[in-house]
């Protein structure tokens, strides 16, 4: 058992409510496992900061419906309590052709339109159905009173397969305001599981790609303490704790033993590079990797005796000057890759391997210079799921292989590769999104498309196979 924190739309305070619950549970010394619906990297960072456990993404587009179920079962059963933070509004998903993804055929009861398309695939409601979990609906009450009942009734009755366990009233202004809300909801007999007043001292800063990551917030612990204080008093814990309770496995399954001689992989992880799915890192270790975390911002050299490199996404544009000034590391990265070291570079990692990053103010900052192009920051947001077909054999997949990923960036490249990795299209239709991705040198996989390897385990296996063929490079 667990509960899903859902919103009636984006921006109603799902993350604040989730962190408040997590902070209060941790203050009680409860072992909590959290999950996040969708491809987001930043919200899970906040979850992990509070719980001390890696948050797991539940995304049937990047993986599959079966993987979502397996991931939730495996990790929730290893903790006392579990909860899932939803994405956008409860029923906000994607409209996708039933046959465009293998997992689409598995839920015959999904709501479709007259074109035979699933209209809420990968939504919070879809995950609630997949996992058979009740929903705690967060409603922003800042500009309504009696209308709250119409909103709650609509969400309660829209899909009879979804069980609304109760509501959380957020941004309540006064005792009188709360009284009006309660009076309106009384006829629905829908439990009020929490009431959060308007908070002026609880604000998480954001910027061009969402919330500012945890590593950049020196006052975060103080904020979490304020959230825990709030959580201690604002929730109906008598009703909530049974919903959140997990049943631990008596003997958790052990992952297979990795090969006896591990492959050392340098994983860039600091304020500039921190977008990683924990499942990807787990799979690398499962298949024989020893992960060596390091900082292109702070370290004077790349780690010694490594046989591969992994640059995740993040905000290299925010730290472009500091990255540029660390010339010894930039040179070492370029030398290692040109000497044949395999390297994965996703989004922000791709930008770091370019010749330059040109920031929002038009200033140019030198980067590693492996790719003969520059990354230019702009106002246009590129966002969405992608279906990508490999155009050639490359570091990770064979030609003709289809992978599913997600793009989320405000930069573009000045030059496109002559032999791109992928031909991409939108996930929910056949609209062609062009070719992208750098596979030259051949030991590089640099792409804007973020991949989750949960249902593509051949990817980490192929990467480590290539790494094993390379003798470690002394730096």
Q: Which is it for strands 210-211 and 206-207: parallel, antiparallel or unpaired? A: antiparallel
Helix (H, G, I), strand (E, B) or coil at 381: strand
Under a CB-based contact definition with an 8 Å cutoff, are residues 107 and 129 in contact? Answer: yes
Distance (Å, whole) CA 455 – CA 259: 21
Output Rg (C-alpha) for the chain, integer angstroms: 23
Helix (H, G, I), strand (E, B) or coil at 90: coil
Question: Token pair 């839920």 is at which residue?
Answer: 107
Distance (Å, whole) CA 28 – CA 177: 31
Tokens read off for 95: 């409209």
Q: Which is it for strands 263-268 and 289-294: parallel, antiparallel or unpaired? A: parallel
Q: Is 347 a catalytic residue?
A: yes
Tokens read off for 72: 């939730």
Question: Token pair 């790349």 is at which residue?
Answer: 302
Distance (Å, whole) CA 87 – CA 229: 25
Among 71, 141, 347, 354, the one annotated catalytic: 347
Under a CB-based contact definition with an 8 Å cutoff, are residues 120 and 126 in contact? Answer: yes
Sheet with 444-447, side-by-side order of all strands: 289-294, 263-268, 308-311, 343-346, 444-447
Cα-based distances in Å from 466 to 62, 258, 265, 360: 24, 16, 12, 37
Helices (H), 186-304: 220-234, 237-244, 278-286
Q: Which residues make beta-bridge pairs with 445?
A: 344
Distance (Å, whole) CA 19 – CA 367: 36
Query: Which residues does the annotation mark as catalytic?
Result: 347
């Amino acid at each position: 058992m667990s509960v899903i924190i859902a919103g009636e739309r984006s921006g109603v305070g799902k993350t604040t409510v989730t962190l408040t619950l997590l902070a209060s549970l941790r203050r009680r010394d409860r072992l909590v496992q959290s999950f996040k619906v969708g491809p987001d990297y930043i919200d899970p960072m906040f979850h992990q900061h509070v719980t001390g456990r890696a948050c797991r993404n539940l995304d049937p587009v990047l993986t599959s419906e079966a993987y979502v179920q397996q991931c939730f079962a495996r990790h929730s059963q290893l903790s006392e309590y579990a909860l899932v933070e939803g994405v956008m509004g409860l029923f906000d998903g994607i409209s996708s052709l039933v046959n465009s993804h293998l997992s689409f055929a598995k839920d015959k009861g999904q709501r479709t339109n007259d074109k035979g398309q699933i209209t809420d695939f990968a939504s919070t409601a879809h995950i609630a159905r997949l996992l058979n979990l009740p929903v705690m609906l967060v409603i922003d009450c800042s500009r309504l009173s009696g209308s709250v009942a119409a909103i709650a009734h609509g969400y309660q009755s829209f899909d009879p397969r979804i069980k609304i366990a109760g509501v959380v009233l957020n941004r309540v202004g006064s005792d009188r305001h709360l009284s009006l809300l309660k009076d309106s909801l009384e006829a629905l007999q829908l439990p009020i599981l929490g009431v959060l007043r308007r908070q002026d001292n609880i604000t998480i800063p954001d910027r061009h790609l969402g919330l500012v990551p945890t590593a950049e917030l020196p006052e975060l612990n103080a904020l979490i303490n304020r959230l825990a204080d709030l959580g201690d008093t604002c929730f109906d814990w008598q009703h909530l704790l049974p919903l959140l309770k997990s049943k631990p496995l008596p003997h958790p399954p052990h992952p297979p033993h990795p090969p006896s001689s591990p492959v050392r992989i340098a994983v860039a992880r600091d304020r500039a590079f921190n977008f990683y799915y924990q499942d990807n890192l787990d799979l690398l270790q499962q298949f024989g990797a020893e992960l060596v975390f390091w900082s292109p911002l702070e370290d004077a050299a790349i780690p010694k005796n490594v046989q591969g490199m992994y640059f995740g996404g993040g905000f290299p544009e925010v730290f472009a000057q500091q990255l540029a000034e660390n010339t010894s590391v930039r040179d070492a990265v370029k030398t290692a890759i040109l000497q044949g070291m395999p390297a994965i570079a996703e989004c922000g990692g791709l930008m770091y391997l370019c010749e330059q990053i040109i920031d929002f103010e038009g200033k140019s900052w030198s980067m590693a210079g492996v790719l003969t192009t520059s990354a230019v920051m702009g106002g246009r947001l590129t966002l969405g799921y992608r279906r990508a077909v490999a155009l050639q054999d490359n570091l990770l997949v064979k030609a003709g292989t289809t992978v599913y990923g997600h793009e989320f960036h405000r930069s573009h490249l000045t030059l496109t590769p002559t032999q791109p990795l992928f031909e991409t299209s939108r996930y929910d239709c056949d609209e062609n999104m062009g070719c992208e991705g750098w596979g030259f040198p051949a030991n590089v996989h640099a792409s804007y498309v973020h991949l989750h390897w949960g249902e593509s385990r051949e990817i980490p296996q192929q990467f480590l196979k290539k790494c094993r063929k390379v003798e470690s490079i002394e730096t």
